[in-house]
Structure 1
Amino acid sequence: MNWITEKSLYRRLLLGLLPYLAGLVWLLVWQLKADHAPWQLALSGFAALALLAVWLRWLLSPFSRSALAIKHGILALKDADFSISIHNQRYLEMSELVDAYNQLTKVLRAERMTLNQRELLLDKVIQHAPLAMVLTDQQYVVFSNTASRELFRLNSKLEGMRFADLVDNLPAALATASLERQAGLVSYVEDDLAQVYQLHCQPFHLHGKAHHLYLYQNLSREMSRKENEMWKRLIRLISHELNNSLAPIQSLTKSARTILQQPEHLTMLEDILDTIGRRSAHLHQFIERYSNYARLPPPSRREVVITDFYQHLLTLLGIQGELECISQHGWFDPAQIEQVMLNLVKNARESGSDVKELGFELRQHGQQISFSVYDRGPGMTASQLSQALLPFYTTKSSGSGIGLTLCNEIISAHQGKLRLYNRDHGGLCVSFTLPVRAHSVAD
């Protein structure tokens, strides 16, 4: 049996029990040989108890040492200290438990080493990333990378500094957007150069406390590259349209001259002139479309009755709508906002969505009125969403790339924001917000 053949507390019990029983027998024999005084009997009883205590202590000492070691080891694990291992005395009753503890600490040490290596790798990636990252709690910076120190124009670490004080080092537009935790593009002019940043602020909880992660991406160089590509695309597009119209006009003009020298074919001249007129009208419409974008007039804002404007849109757009607005009046240019809604609904209809899935909404959020147009089309990829508002960018084979850009210009002139995002379960939503005059909220 294991408790006999191996090192065991049971065998220790048997081996320790023999001398204890021998001593106890000797004590009983000594008491039976003659009468003893009470104090002698009491002394012998005390000796027996003392001997029992010594025997129990000797018997349980391996168990006590192992249990105490495991206790200290578990307390160390609680403090994330995985360096403690326990010497296994190889007593059968405790051996497996001690081995299990030692294996656990070995696995945890290996996991911690792997985790530390991953953290070092991740920290190197973050520190060398061009994206500026700042993590804050309610007031102070708790993490930042190298790009963020360059953004805030400081050579020292940002950790421990008040975030509200740090933003004073940013340009006014970017500082305001940071304090208001806005998300989107922020543009400004610095040293006569246009600067564009993509700002993203994400709230989350870390160790039970509210934190905010600020991400700043400098898009100036990318925007400059996109702008160059845009102008090249525009030049190619205009050249293509001009050639498509001027080449047949040139050919028809040559044919007209030939006909003038042959009076018997004068009847063909009318068709030629009609064709030249149609091509000229097409060219005029093409140029007018782009010139309208270049000379967009400032909005003529006035007080607009929201319910009347909503009913007008409901009739004009021909799709389902929803109104949820406390204010009775808004303050915007109804003609321009109507044009924006027409363009957005046109895009929604061309998305391939079922007409029954198209809709628009007018909702009030505090001092803002939100206009939304949504569909159930294929939506947009991340790349398309990031470029959708660039002039002359289009995903359509026959598109001009003016529609959304014109809408964005109109909304920006109203101090509003145009936003595109993919809907859950498919489709795209385009929304924009317009400010409400302070006195109209109380109407």
Structure 2
Amino acid sequence: MFNFISGLSLTQKIMAICVLCSVLPVVSITIISQHPLYYSVLLVIAAMLISILLARALTKPIKLGLKSLETGLLNFKDGELSSLLAYKNNDELGKLCLLYNQTAKQLRQEKQWIYQRELMLDKVLQSSPQALLLVNDNKIVVFSNLVSRTLFNSKTQLEGTQLHELLSDAPIQLTNAIEQGVDGLFNIEIDSHDSQTWHLSTGEFLLNNQKHHLYIFKQLTRELSRQEVAVWKKVIRIISHELNNSLGPMSSMLHSAQLLASRVDEPRLARVFSTIDERISHLTEFVQGYGKFAKLPTPQKSAINWQNTLNDLNRQWQFSYTVSSTQSILHADQAQLEQLLINLLKNAHESGSNPSKINIDVTFFSNTCIVDVSDGGKGMSEQVMANALVPFYSTKSTGSGLGLALCREIAEAHKGQISLHNKLSGGLNVQVTLPCR
């Protein structure tokens, strides 16, 4: 009997209770009143029919509410959060359905927020300069970014690839580093004359109850090149010091020799001394140029008068300029700032740009001064732009590779920064950001 009752649905149990509650009193009354049997049977049947009809009418809203909740929970199970329940009766089930709808709306908002956050995270990871590789416990790549494709010499996505298949075409040094599975440095030979230094950082964590392995590859070649530049600066300072020690006496002796030669009627001596003087001047200028980069003095800051500074430069270089505010003041080293602008203007004119399209725009934001130098040239390729600020890198046959590097040194000496961007309309825009004080 109890097994039979437990197998009934909630509405069926309610109907059974209603039938029992109506039939039992009728049966008791007929027994006490001693009516004929047929009369008692008719009363019991009538009571049962009436109670069943009333129970069905009363349990119909309950059945609809429970059906709505069941449908909603099935939608939750399938990850569908956009559907809301239409049951709005003012009863306990109506309150449950209302609570369900409120929960569904909140979960839908949180899902959209998580989705946008995942998009942002994916954008950040894809744009990261570090190569990222996520491998599950079955040695299958489940995530990679753009840099990792370049590292593994792949033109397609790495997701879904077996790790051993990926390593089959990878450099042997990279394969060994991954197989060792520990943090460390390794070099990848590009060719017989060049190599790249990478740092590998590894980690393990659980994702969807499955162990995953994360490999982070950071290229240290640029960081090491900065250390190399520091060494070069020291070498340049030593060489410049020794050359200056020699050029000073040579220039003095040359002057004395020219005075002695003036008493001798020999025109060839004048040409010889003139050539020597020219070469000494050229060598002095050459040493001074490298010396500016190797030993940039601490900026001696003063208030910059932009109108006077740009007007003075306009006498040497053709360009247009705008200054957004004459009230805001930049405190910087006048000589170094002029040298920075001269280098940028020189590059702009050498880019093949029409001089009328070369412009300097000075704007102030809060406590920051932004100097934009733009031209209408060809811009820079990806490879050139990646190395444009590296000292001694130049695409010009007669270039020293110190122009933009010196600009960066000056900007960083002022606690600022420099960035380069190709313009959509063509040409290059160099933006120098400097603190006003």
| TM-score, length basis structure 1 | 0.44
